[in-house]
A and B are shown apart, each in its own frame.
Chain A
Amino acid sequence: MSDVRWQDVFRVALLGTERARLPEPLPPLEGVDGTTLDGLLTGARVGSSPEHGLLAAAGLLWQARRAGRRVGVRPGNAPLALAPPEVVAVLGPRSAEVIDYFTRTESPLLDPWLDAAAARGRVAPYLRLCALLDLGVVDRARRARIFKVLGERGRWVAAQNPAWGWVRAFEEDVIAPDETWRLGLMEERTTVLERLRAVDPARGRALLQTTWSKDGASSRAAFIDALAVGLSEDDEPFLELALDDKRSTVRVAAARLLVRLPASRLVTRMKARLDPLLSLGIDVDAHLPVHLRGKETLFVALPKACDEGMLRDGVLPKVPYYRDGIGERTWWLLQMLRAVPPAHHVRRFRRDSRALVAAASGNEHARHLLDGLYEATVTHGDCDMAVALVDAMLEADSSPASGDVYPALGVSLARLLPPALRSARAQQTLRPPLRNGHPALPLLEGCDFVWSDDLAKAFVRAIRASMRVPVGESEAVRSLLAGAVLRVPASCVDFAKMGWPLTERVPPWTWAHAYDQFLEALRYREEAWAALDDVLPSDDPPSAKNHARSAVFESEAGTDSASMR
């Protein structure tokens, strides 16, 4: 406060009346009629001790200051612009509950539900806009679908909170991304680049090149990652140049993309390095187990060194902690195997995928060879090799005698199988009890489409027959069960409910409740989609707002009963 008299009082109070005194009388106020206050101040000091006089002055000025404060007139600031009217329908309160429930339970249904809302041209309920915007901050993968249900109101409110800057990057017309690109935060720039790449990869790359020389290492790596959107052979020259970067994060990021381009110079170099190390022949070593003797084997010579060229191509010289337990040279080999398309070996050795997998599994380095082959298959999306690998794995799984050389089957490999084969293999392997590590789990998870009735019924039966698997060994099964809510066709919902709960007594420590939740989610799935037809009447905005406003209050008071029913 600029009030000179308060400054005097404050100074004396700080120093103490032992050391300082209030001026007598206190300086007058300028431009204000302070007669009454002056009278009070003088009255309080006459006949009292300096301490009491000071305290009284402090109290009186405190009162005068808070009562006399002028409610500030906005200093020339333009009033906030109103949110533009919505052009499409706003979802009703039922949808607010749906969003709340899905986000709270981290339901896998949220994404398809948001997509369905966007497809029908709906805007999320105003009261859940902030929750969705927050979700977009932490979850980049969801931004595109969240953006589609924000509507005018969502974009309007996001524009006022820097934390929701990702929306601005989305909103910027892809036609004019340059300003955000030059001035935006790292987050916004990445979003702009990804969006532009999705529609016009060449312009995206050109945009990146405009600032390349000025961007730091971490931004460069992140931007290269963004080039994964719309990646094509056209990006090869630029990425090849990026391999000359002196920072390994940038090189590794570029190499990661180049590996996905089978015609890239990097892949050619990797082939040239790998070919001399691999050879096919008959192993006659008498030390081998009987079942391997005399079979065709893929022989491996480990690389001798990690040279400059390999470093440039993104080969990491040191074994990372998560690959603990393998040697340096094996690690180099693995990285090169990963980079070369499996089809190259098929052509080179004139053997089909199955024969190659069999040959690789008969080697002393079988585990690493298969690891590398697995990763190469996933990286290059080689369906043929994927079928060979999955079948070999499933066979090995059913006859453990053949040795445990195969890596664990993962979803990314399962997804490479043609859908019909995927369903078939999943159904074949669905043998209870299901527990963590069961091969049917990744196959089923890979079946990311609505299942056939047969598969869905087999799944339900297998799950119910696995209830006695201890909770500690069933995490993966339960997570699959949660995801299966999306996959079970509507025609099988009744089948899933039939005969549940089990009449036989299931011990209380099992995970039967997970099945209850599964059924509950199946039921809720229907309700959530029905809520999409429940929109606010656009011709009656006040009542719409009324509802939302009371809801704001409810949530504040902590009485929000946004539970499911």
Chain B
Amino acid sequence: MDELRASVTDRRLLDRATQISRADNGSWHQLERAGDLTWARFHGTGEYRVALDLSGPRYRCTCPTATQPCKHALALHLIAVGQPSSLAPAAAPPWVATALEAGDGLAPKNRTPKGPSNARKTRRFEEMDAGARELDRWLTDQVRTGIAALPAHAVDLEALAKRLWDAKARGLARAVTGLIESPPAPGWQERVVERLGRLHLLLEAWRRRDALDEGLVADLATLLGVPQRKDDALDQTPVEDLWDVLGSKVDYSDEQHLVSMRTWLRGRRTDRYALIVQQEYAHDAPSGLPTSFDRTLQEGHAYEADLCFYPSAWPLRAEVRSRGGRRAGIAPPVLRTLAAAHSAFVDALAQQPWLWGIPVFVGGLRVERRDEGFLASDEEGSEVAVELADTYGWNLLAVLGGGPCALLCEWDGRVLHLVRPHSEMRP
């Protein structure tokens, strides 16, 4: 039933849908249902008729947007799932059945796999090309006049980001928004030059995408703003292994009630990492995890499972296709030094140069406090900064007492971003 929501990775779309689902100003009319069928009329810019078949899920909305599912269908879905009592039981009017049959729905079974999808993809890529060209012109202008005055042009940046957003190059829009820190911290100029260079390489690669591998093109598309679809992952050949569950992290975004849970796995035989991302809007229960989350992957245990990775030149994000039995305990970390962790990062960069960082599970690390921050050092005496909140860091220090432990981190070549210290491991 939550397939529809799960398929939507664009948070802004979900935000808008959430707003609409809560609209209380008489925008909704004829909110009704019959079994799995739900329909309504919505007064937005015009009057739209929305129909939804929860069993599919199939949906249809008369609004003109190309985004599928549109915010109205999504909102109706949120209402049907979240506040079923607001739907009045009724007999389905004939337009509902007609609309749903005409609509293309979402369920993969109802969709002819490649043809229309490719056509849509091509259309989408062309739209993004326009955005990419505009960004390229803007980049050129910046380095022609020099970037020293860039912070003064924050308004231009915003306008540019908005145009990129409209061109469906949302990844680029986000990159432009994050180009300048606000307020600019010392040394911002160097970071801006780095980011401009990174964007340029991205646009160059996108321009020459026909010459690139399919995986890298998928990465580029994601970076530019094409949402990843679960089906794309499930179409891939599954990877079978004994997967150690290294840890998971839950993030709550207070404003939007968005709960996301990321779970990191490592395959014992394939020696590769996998990341499972689950997201959900939790309207009613701001604390705790949404019930729809799959919590069967328990940290500190290993599972025989088939994982399907999202297409990428360095595949990481994955979906669980099927899961077998559980085994207590996980294997000790393979990485024992920070140098080894960095060389894994370099190898990954060689595959996918735009990676922000990679997960690393490193054993034998000792955490300590020096000056204003926390450090981790390995058995060779190398040390790097660890980023973690002060209170948390001090607690960690108190519990470890200077002893070695295994840490699951994200490594960006500069700082270890601690995901969690590892309870089961005595390295």
Contacts and interface: CB of A to CB of B under 8 A. Distances in A.
Interface of A: 9-10, 12-19, 49, 51-52, 54-63, 66-67, 69, 71-74, 79-83, 126-127, 129-130, 153-154, 156-157, 160-161, 542, 545-550, 552-553, 555-559
Interface stretch (B46-54, B88-96, B138-146): B138-146
A13 B200 CA distance: 13
Contacts of A60: 197, 201
Contacts of B413: 66-67, 69
Interface residues of B, number: 66
Contacts of A548: 399
B201 A14 contact: no
A62 B198 contact: yes
A5 to B, nearest CB: 13
Interface stretch (B79-87, B221-229, B267-275, B417-425): B417-425
B148 interface: yes
B147 A126 contact: no
Contacts of B113: none
A126 B398 contact: yes
Contacts of A553: 247, 420-421, 423
Q: Is the interface of A mostly helix, strand, loop or mixed?
A: helix
A503 to B, nearest CB: 35
Given A16-B143, A51-B143, A157-B398, 7 more contacts: A54-B143, A56-B201, A66-B414, A71-B338, A80-B368, A80-B402, A546-B423
A177 B252 CA distance: 49
A546 to B, nearest CB: 5
A55 B196 contact: yes
Given A73-B382, A80-B368, A82-B402, A58 B193 contact: yes
Contact of B140 (A52, A66, A74): A52
B241 interface: no
Q: What are the 7 tightest A-B residue pairs by CB atom distance, in nearest-first order? A: A58-B197, A16-B146, A59-B197, A83-B401, A55-B200, A59-B201, A80-B368
B200 A58 contact: yes
B339 interface: yes
B140 A51 contact: yes
Contacts, number: 173
Contacts of B405: 549
Interface in B176-213: 189-190, 193-194, 196-201, 204
Nearest to B136: A52
21 contacts: A10-B190, A13-B193, A13-B196, A16-B143, A16-B146, A17-B144, A18-B146, A55-B139, A56-B201, A58-B194, A58-B196, A59-B201, A72-B384, A73-B381, A126-B401, A130-B398, A545-B400, A549-B405, A553-B423, A559-B287, A559-B288
B123 interface: no
A94 to B, nearest CB: 17
Contacts of A57: 197
Interface of B: 139-140, 143-148, 189-190, 193-194, 196-201, 204, 247, 249-250, 252, 287-289, 338-339, 341-342, 345-346, 349, 353, 366, 368-369, 377, 380-384, 389, 391-392, 394-403, 405, 412-414, 420-424, 426
A241 to B, nearest CB: 44
Contacts of B193: 9-10, 13-14, 58
B414 A73 contact: no
A157 B288 CA distance: 32
A127 B394 contact: no
Nearest to A85: B401
Given A14-B189, A72-B383, A79 B143 contact: no
A424 B288 CA distance: 52
B203 to A, nearest CB: 9
Given A73-B382, A127-B399, A160-B397, A549 B197 contact: no
A79 B367 CA distance: 10
Nearest to A82: B402
B353 A72 contact: no
A253 B287 CA distance: 52
A541 to B, nearest CB: 9
A557 B419 CA distance: 10
A134 to B, nearest CB: 9
A18 B143 CA distance: 9
A550 B398 contact: no
Nearest to A153: B401
